[in-house]
Every structure is written in structure tokens, then in C-alpha cells.
Chains A and B, each alone.
Chain A
Amino acid sequence: MGRRVTINPITRLEGHGKIEIFLDEAGNVVNAYLQIPELRGFEKFSEGRRAEEMPRITPKICGVCPTAHHMASAKTLDDLFKVEVPPAAKKIRELIYSAFMFEDHTLHFYFLGGPDFIMGPDAPPSERNILGVIQKVGVETGKKVINIRKRTRDIITLLGGKVIHPVCGLPGGVSKGVKKEDRDEFIKTGKDAIEFSKFSLKLFDDIVLGNEEYVELVVGDIYKHKTYYMGLVDENNKVNFYDGMIRVVDPEGNEFCKFKSKDYLKHIEEHVEPWSYIKFPYLKNVGWKGFTDGIDSGVYRVAPLARLNASDGMPTPLAQEAYEKMYDVLGGKPAHNTLAYHWARLVEQMYASERLLELAEDDEILDKNIRNIPTETPDEGIGVVEAPRGTLYHHYKTDERGIIQKVNLIVATVNNSAAMSMSIKKAAQGLIKNGEVSDGLLNMVEMAFRAYDPCLACATHSLPGQTPLKVTIYNSDREAIRTIIRD
């Protein structure tokens, strides 16, 4: 029997995460598992609840991306109660959503994922964090990050009540309209968000693309999987976060299918493993073939890079420019490089800020008609949005009083669960040879899942320091023989 490397816990995924790596006699990786040891059971305990309360219940799935659940839930209620949303209300929802996508992507790049590049994957752990980033890019920039994030979050607070768990979404609209004086502030924030997105892209350009080693890391084989990709697109097949059709491209980049939210069950199925509380979605019409990539495996990926791969471009000019540049450097579409998720996230940050400004400048957003009162009898509704971490599906069935009978959810990060496991295994296999576990391994393994931004709420708390990580190596008698701690 070989050895076993346990990384417990890695950072969280709306709960804790644990990696188990098994080595053979020679000390090479046989297999690796990403385990999610938590479950809360929203699908079950939402049964019996009032449907209209769902946009207030489901955000509690995730306090980092509550706005995604809130919007998916509100859209599900529109469908459930068969009610149209007035144009102003739709724009208010999308305005809130654009502000949210911007602040959430900003959080990831500067607090979570970015430090690996800005500071370097093998920089001293004490510097590889937001404080290190601030030191390197300057205190003024650090303040800029905190400030723009606060201002975009303030938009959500103003219109949604609470930024952590908004409450404004109702079937057929929103509970609160936009006032003229607030709108002026939104426009200012939108303009500054665009400037900030330009700055972020330039920073990526200077620090990552200007460094051959990093470029090699991004395009290299350790962080690469040829999978299917999924994302919402508008009528021109451009990326959309709030609405549209779900498009899937195959590993060659050809359109595999394009479907409406209501048809999601024809295309997605979930696999269960006894060793994790997370399920593993796959494309039903390809099938579950295990933790493997390629055109014959139903494993697909979601979130920024997947959305860009699954689309024909960005609907706004500056984001489109950034999109084209990214694919130029990566050598065309689709890009299979997991670390390019970071770059795609910045392309999307630009789109979110451009869209935020567009909506804020649209006079219709001031319209007082923000709700249609439902009149139809509810029965079943499905709502889909692109959460920062991927395509998010809500599906409710009710009785005629609008009391929930059944709930099915496919949460954004869950779509990536199989791919994340594969990424960790591949990184471990590429890095652990002959039983040699170096300190550098720790961060390199972390980078394999960090690129997906799997709701790593933890890293937002590591503002004052670095998230520590511990690897314990056991001998075949399960005795710990070596421990490496990075703190």
C-alpha cells in the first residue's frame, strides 16, 4: 500500500473542502479526491414554504453570491406565476445584477485568485495575499479596490435592502424603484467601474502577460482540460448574465446544443458518489463516463472562461476588445486553460461595468411601473442566471395556492464539481513525483481549484494574513510521517 496525502481542509466551497491524494509505492499519484463534507438540504426544507418567500430563503445558500440566488429565484417566480416583468423592473434587476457581478469578480481577482499572479505562485506565503497585492500595486490602488467594491455594493443595498441577502425580487417585478438622485450616483459609479476594469486588465497585462513564466503556466499542460463549456447567451450568441438561452459548445468549440431554461432536464443530469455530499452534473446526451475529459465524457465546465468559450463574444465594445485579445494570446477558441479563468473573469468584469453604466443611463429605469401583480394560478417555474461561478438553475413546483411542493437546484459551483476534482488530480500528478512533496506544491494544488473561484468565502477573510494550509503525509500504517505547514 502506498502513501496518502491529506489536505484538510482546503478552503471552503460553501462549506469545507478536503483533498485526499493517494500515492503508489514509488510515491507517484494514483488518484485524488476533492470531498465536500457539508450539506444543508434546501431542496427538501423549502417544501411547504410560500413560493414568494423563496427569493428570501434561497440566497441563504451562499452569503457571498446571494444576489445570484435571489435573481434566479425571482425569475423562477415570474415563470411560476406566468407574469411578465415590466421593462423598468427588468432593467432594475439587471442593474443590481451587473453591480453584483462586478463587485464579486473584483473580490476574486484582488483578494482570492489574483495574488498568485500579482505576487507569484511561489512568492513567500506571507506576501501572497491582498496585503501583498496592496504593497505591490500601491496603497492608493488598494483603497481604490475597497472603494469601488463598496460603491457597487451600495447600489445593491439601496435597491435590494440588504447586500448580504437582497429582498427586492417579486414575481412580476421588484419592490422598489429607482429615484432620479440615486440614478445620478449609479451613473458615476458605472463610469468609475469601467475605469477600474481598464485598470484591472492593464494590471493583468503588465504582471501576467509580461512574465514568460506565468504565460507558460497559463498555457501549460498541468492546468488544462478539454471539456464541454456552458453559458447563457443573448440572441446574438453574446454573453449575458441575467437572461437568454443556455448554449453548450464541445471541446472543439462547435455548438453542441442550445436550449431554453425550461428544457434543462433534457440536457443535464447529476451523478452521486458515496464519498462526497456534492453531486456531479454532466451532459445527459453524452453521459457520465467518470472523472475524465474529452468529447466522449459528459463533464462540462461553467463560469467565466466557460461562458466566453460558449459564446461568440461580448455585447459591449471594451469587453469585446479584451475578449479578442485574450483568445489571440491563448491561440483561439475554445481555450482549455484552467488558469485563464482569471483572465476571462476580468473580461467579464469589464462587461459588467459597461452594462451597469448602460442601464443606469437608460431613462426607462426611472419608470414607476415596476410590478405586474400575478393573476394566473401557479404550478411550475424554472429560472436561470449566470452566477459569477457559473450557470445557476432554480426549479419550483407548487400547488394552486403557491405553496412549494418540489424544489430542484443546480448551484453554479456544483456544475464544476467533476472538473475541479479532475483539475486537482492532474495538478497533483504533475507536481508530486517519487514522493517528493515540496512546499511549492501546496499553492500549485490550490491554484488548480482556485481558478474556478468555488465560493471561497474564506479567502475574503484572509485580508490580514494568508490562508494557512497543511499537508500531512501518512505511511501505510496511517501514521503521520511528515507535515508541511504553510501559515
Chain B
Amino acid sequence: MAKPKVAFYWNASCGGCEEAVVDLAEDILGVVDAVDIVFWPVALDFKKKDVEKLKDNELVASFINGAIRTEEQKEMVELLRRKSELVVAFGSCAHLGGIPGLANFSNRNEIFERVYKTSESTSNTEGVFPQVKTQISEGELTLPLFFDTVKTLDQTVDVDYYVPGCAPPPDIIMDAVNAILKGDLPGKGSVLAPKKALCDECERNESKPEKLEISEFNRVHQIEVDPEKCFLTQGIICMGISTRAGCGQRCINANMPCRGCFGPLDGVKDFGLRSMSAIASIFALTNEENLSEDELEKLMDKLVDPAGLFYMYSLPSSILRRKRMEK
């Protein structure tokens, strides 16, 4: 029997998801034995027609990482969608938009202005920007169009499953691959990771008082962080409260708070909104009535850049998707 065919592809991403696959170490050899990788994300030959030669649905699965940022990426994932039975959004960027999705606080013009014109080290008095088409004496050179808005994979093509994380840890990757190979899959649209919150498995959970409360907001560089105690009890925003478990508490093990790369729990549409409301519900509880509006506002002012913090990995997947830009 022919081995099932799979593809890997990357879009607006960093290569960390590819490293995550390499970090499977010996396990990758088992994967390679079980499947036929007919298309490699960074394979040098990825002319559209080479994938087009495949029959529709010929691929058992395409694992696609990265957000969608350019025309070229959009075309590739549309093609892969046609050729694949299953499309798996792999890693935070494909799943939620990821860190590159923070660009939705801005747009193409602003990015080009900053990168190619006003950046302190750039000398560009003529205001040259990269162009989709450039005529040079020898002919024409082309670049793919850079979109205004970053999109998640499922805002671009239909997605069957999600493997979360920045980057996804090895055990989550192997479980997903095995589930696909065995055909032992949950319902379409599932995130292939535990269904509980990171808080529920956090070792610091025991340090939490019965009634969790934040009386003031601290930033992680401003205080000595007790490595035994829940971050929230120390006034530090930790998104473990609203983030799906399965990461192995990697950041918390290094004594740093969760930033939500695994995304929301089942049934939650907008991760940032849910995180914000979770934090709001435990903020200044007992003392709230004794505080004046001014005093409350002062406390709230310490929560700087809430949008960037709560949507660090998920702005494109939020209900608003992006900042509204002046025309």
C-alpha cells in the first residue's frame, strides 16, 4: 500500500515551527517512515504547477504554519487546500495570527514608511519602496503583494484541525500526527490539545488563595517575582487563566508569565476579550467600593498596552481583527 502523502508549508512565520519538527529528534524518523512527504514547506521547488499536478485531495494532510501576509502565501494555501483532505493550522501564527499579527495595529503604508524611510539607519531620500513590479535594464523583477491586513489560516481557507503553540511542543505534535495517521480524530475544527486551562495544571496553583484577587497591576521587570507563587497574586498579568493547557508550562518554568500562545479554550471566539474579562473579574474586588473613580483609574492606568498584551498572539483572530485605520 502506498504511504499517505503529506505536505508542510510555511507563510509569515519565523521558522520556529520547522525547528519544532526537527526537535522531534528521533521521532521524526518514525514519521518519515510512515508518510510520504511530497511537498516540503521550504522545499526550493514550489512552483504552483508542481503542486497542481497532484490530484485534488491526493494529500492526506497539509501542515501549514505562519499567518497570511502576502499574495503568494494566499495563493499557495488555496492550492494546498484543494489538494488536501485535511488542512492543519500548525502553530500560533496559522491558528491565531501570532506575533506577526500584531501588524494589524498598523497597515502596509505605515510599515513601509517606517521600515524603508524613517528608520534611523535607512538612507532613502528618494522614498524608494519595494514594488510588485520593477523595470530594470535587463527586464522586469517581481515581488508578491504585501497585504494591509494579516489573516489567520482559517480566514483564508477552510481549516480542519489546529495544532497550537509558539512553537508547538514535541508531544503535542506527535499526538496530532498519530491521531491523523490512525484516523482517530475529534470533530472538525478541533484544537488538538488538552481541553483545560493552563491554570488548572500549573504547579503554582496551590499558592493561589481561595479567592483570587488583584489589587494592583505590576509589570514583570518592576518587582522580584516569587518563583513559587501564582503570578496573578503578585499583580502580574498571566494569561494562564484563559489559555489552553498543553505547553508544559514552559514559560512559567523559567519564572515568566504566560502570554497566551496556545490560544483560547473550546467555545471562546475572542481570546483577548476573554482574558481581559477574566482579569477584570478579579481586579480590586473587595476594595472596589472604597475607591473613588480617580483612584480606580489610577490603578487601571498601570495596565499599559492592554490590547498588545491580551492580543499578543491573537489579534487577527479577534472579533475586530485589526485597528481601524484613518483613510
Contact = CB atoms under 8 A, between A and B. Distances in A.
Asked if A and B bind, the verdict is yes
Interface of A: 1-2, 4, 7-12, 14, 16, 20, 22, 30-31, 33, 35, 37-41, 43-50, 52-53, 56-57, 59-64, 66, 77, 81, 146, 150, 153, 157, 159-168, 170-172, 175-176, 264-265, 268-277, 279, 281, 284, 288, 371, 373-374, 393, 395, 401-403, 406, 408, 410, 455, 457-465, 467-470, 485, 487
A272 B23 contact: no
A471 to B, nearest CB: 10
Contact of A63 (B16, B70, B115, B138): B16
A63 B99 CA distance: 12
A56 B18 CA distance: 19
Given A63-B16, A410-B121, A462-B40, A175 B138 contact: no
Given A10-B44, A37-B72, 15 more contacts: A11-B42, A31-B138, A47-B106, A50-B219, A64-B16, A175-B220, A264-B121, A274-B129, A275-B136, A277-B143, A284-B123, A374-B222, A408-B121, A465-B40, A467-B42
B259 A274 contact: no
A457 B65 CA distance: 14
Interface residues of B, number: 83
B298 interface: no
A14 B15 contact: yes
Contact of B110 (A44, A270, A281, A485): A44
Contacts of B305: 48-50, 403
Contacts of B279: none
A48 B114 CA distance: 14
Interface of B: 8, 12-23, 25-26, 28-29, 32, 37, 40-47, 69-70, 72, 98-100, 102-103, 105-106, 110-111, 114-116, 119-124, 128-131, 134, 136, 138-139, 141, 143-144, 146, 166-167, 219-225, 227, 250-256, 259, 304-305, 308-309, 312
Given A48-B105, A81-B221, A463-B22, A276 B143 contact: yes
B143 A159 contact: no
The 10 A-B residue pairs whose C-beta atoms are closest, nearest first, are A63-B16, A458-B42, A161-B254, A457-B15, A41-B111, A22-B138, A63-B14, A60-B99, A63-B15, A275-B141
Nearest to A464: B32
A156 B86 CA distance: 34
A2 B114 CA distance: 38
Contact of B13 (A63, A270, A464): A63
B131 A275 contact: yes
A270 B121 contact: yes
Contacts of A165: 16, 166-167
A16 to B, nearest CB: 8
Contacts of B123: 269-271, 284, 288
A186 B264 CA distance: 37
B15 A12 contact: yes
Contacts, number: 281
A166 B167 CA distance: 11
Contacts of A30: 138
A284 B123 CA distance: 9
B254 A175 contact: yes
Nearest to A476: B139
A468 B43 CA distance: 6
Given A8-B47, A63-B15, A467-B43, A39 B115 contact: yes
Contact of A373 (B45, B70, B224): B224
A45 B106 contact: yes
A459 B46 CA distance: 15
Contacts of B116: 272, 279
Contacts of B219: 50, 52, 402
B227 A38 contact: no
A157 B248 CA distance: 12
Contacts of B253: 161
Given A60-B14, A167-B256, A464-B32, A20 B141 contact: yes
